[in-house]
């Protein structure tokens, strides 16, 4: 993967790329929504079958409808096939090496990172909804209003990566999880 001494640089690059993509997404999404339909946004972002089943199940389609069940089951089946293929020796360089999850410390760190990402994405989802439903802005203005949040994400990613490289220490994050 990468050397431990390079983890801060790697972290800064990855988190900055995610943050920049996150900053461009709401603006482009707002422009696309104003000029076309939500179907194009969903097509462009490549929503998976699982997300379609979860998004429409219980709202547009009943949870027991064939559309919801087929979407969810097909999505889970494809993920299982993906994981099976990745775990076997078919792949020289797997996208998701499952051996990384065998170490409890690493698995815990991945779980925490996953939960952190869920919380961050909730903010990035609900803020535009708030701007449009409560503040009555249009989708493009909503995307522009997201820029301060995303700029803070980008800058904090770069700063945290630099600090991690500079100090090269392993601190326990357990006290931070209490907050």
SS3 of 47, please?
coil
Q: Residue 172 pLDDT > 60, yes or no?
A: no
3-state per-residue secondary structure call for 40-66: HHHHHHCCCHHHHHHHHECCCECCCCH
Whole-number mean pLDDT of the chain?
A: 77
Q: What is the pLDDT of residues 105-155, one digit of tens each?
A: 888 888 888 888 888 888 888 888 899 999 999 999 998 998 898 888 888
| Average confidence (pLDDT) over 68-90 | 77
Q: Could you give the percent of the chain with pLDDT greater than 70?
A: 81
Closest CA to 60 of 78, 42, 80: 42
| Better-predicted residue by pLDDT, 35 or 130 | 130
Are 162 and 15 in contact by the 8 Å Cβ rule? The answer is no
Q: Residue 171 pLDDT > 80, yes or no?
A: no
| Average confidence (pLDDT) over 156-177 | 67
Q: Residue 80 pLDDT > 70, yes or no?
A: yes
Q: Which positions ≥6 away from 166 have C-beta within 8 Å?
A: 8
Q: Residue 91 pLDDT > 80, yes or no?
A: no
| Average confidence (pLDDT) over 39-63 | 69
| Average confidence (pLDDT) over 88-93 | 70
Q: Residue 174 pLDDT > 70, yes or no?
A: no
Question: Residue ranges of the domains in the chain?
Answer: 4-171
């Amino acid at each position: 993967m990468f050397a431990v001494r390079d983890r801060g640089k790697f972290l800064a690059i990855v988190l900055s790329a995610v943050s920049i993509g996150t900053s461009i997404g709401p603006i482009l999404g707002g422009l696309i929504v104003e000029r076309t339909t939500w179907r194009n946004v969903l097509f462009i972002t490549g929503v998976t079958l699982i997300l379609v089943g979860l998004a429409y199940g219980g709202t547009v389609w009943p949870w027991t409808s064939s559309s919801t069940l087929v979407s969810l089951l097909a999505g889970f089946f494809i993920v299982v096939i993906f994981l099976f293929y990745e775990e076997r020796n078919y792949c020289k360089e797997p996208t998701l090496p499952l051996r990384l999850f065998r170490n409890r410390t690493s698995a815990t760190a991945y779980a925490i990172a996953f939960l952190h990402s869920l919380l961050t994405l909730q903010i990035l989802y609900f803020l535009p909804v708030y701007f449009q439903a409560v503040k009555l802005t249009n989708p493009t203005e909503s995307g522009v209003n997201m820029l301060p949040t995303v700029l803070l994400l980008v800058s904090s990613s770069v700063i945290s990566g630099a600090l991690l490289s500079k100090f090269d220490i392993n601190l326990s994050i357990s006290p931070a999880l209490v907050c």
